Amino acid sequence: MVEKIFMDQTVIITGASSGIGWEMARQMAAQGANLALAARQKDKLTELADQCNKLGGKAVAVPTDVSDPKQCRALIDSAIKAFGGIDILVNNAGTTMWARLDEITDLTIFNTIMQVNYLGSVYCTYYALPYLKASKGRIAAISSLTGKAGVPTRTGYSASKHAMVGFFDSLRVELRGSGISVTMIYPGFVDTGVQERGFGADGKPLGINPLQKNKIMTANECARLSIKAIAERRREEVMTLRGKLGQWIKLIAPGLVDKIAAKAIEEGK
């Protein structure tokens, strides 16, 4: 049972100011979790912390830019100071892009995406690891189906998610026998708000959501499935039927997966 499994557990969630992280925080708070909430937007974090406290959890807002290793260390230190330990680390902070490589005019997009999506997870995990070993805790990383298969207009994003997968799969092997579980989460398209903030070809926020919201998963549902997988210490959670089928099709007909990925982007779902 997932219900109340996180009671009095200390959970760090990065990228908590919106989308999946926001919903995970609220759902875990309702189970009585202690939450260290991290993101760059202080006002949104404070609002979320207030909501979590009212829902039955205990929450602290820790403004953090995960691309800065010093701030990641300060996040871990803040969680320890507030709650005395760490049971779960959810590496959720991320940014995205929507542009073909031959359209891009600002190559710093690739640096920023890799710093946030990949290295931010590395930094937070590194500093949290001693405490997670002590608690025999859980590590979760929110990847994407693009971490399993390439998708057009998402070259830098897909690369960062593939990097996350390689890192956490390797770490899982290193941690065998430690009692720590490592769960990879692979959502499909989710209505999180990150699309509007994603980079366009010129390096500026896109400002619009190119997806059809009525055809994609809600952040609430994605959070629910993620929490269930973390609670059960699963190796991975692939959320969509298309994603699950795609894993098998890629083994026997990889070219077909390319066509499916291209069609998904063209149709905006």
233-254 residue pLDDT tens = 999 999 866 655 656 556 565 6
Quick check: is 149 in a domain?
yes
Quick check: is 259 in a domain?
no
CATH number at residue 69: 3.40.50.720
pLDDT in the model for residue 242: 66
pLDDT in the model for residue 248: 53
Q: Identify whether the C-beta of residue 184 lies closer than 8 Å to the C-beta of residue 168.
A: yes
Quick check: 155 pLDDT over 90?
yes
For CA atoms 42, 109, 237, 188, give the dihedral sign.
Answer: positive
Quick check: is 266 in a domain?
no
Mean pLDDT of the chain: 88
Q: What is the mean pLDDT of residues 123-132?
A: 98
Percent of the chain with pLDDT over 70: 82
Quick check: is 51 in a domain?
yes
Quick check: is 96 in a domain?
yes
SS3 204: coil
Q: Identify whether the C-beta of residue 64 lies closer than 8 Å to the C-beta of residue 39.
A: yes
Nearest CA to 66 out of 36, 105, 46, 86 is that of 36
Say what angle helices 19-29 and 42-55 make with each other, to 10 degrees. 30
pLDDT in the model for residue 85: 97
pLDDT tens across 67-103, in order?
Answer: 999 999 999 999 999 999 999 999 999 999 989 999 9
Note if the pTM is more than 0.85: yes
Number of structural domains found in the chain? 1
Q: What is the mean pLDDT of residues 28-46?
A: 96
pLDDT in the model for residue 1: 41
Quick check: is 247 in a domain?
no
Quick check: is 261 in a domain?
no
How far is it, in rounded angstroms, from Cα 121 to Cα 218? 23
Domain residues for the domain of 17 are: 10-240
Could you give the residue numbers annotated as active site? 157
Q: Identify whether the C-beta of residue 93 lies closer than 8 Å to the C-beta of residue 116.
A: yes
pLDDT in the model for residue 147: 86
Tokens 């692939």 — which residue? 238
Quick check: is 20 in a domain?
yes
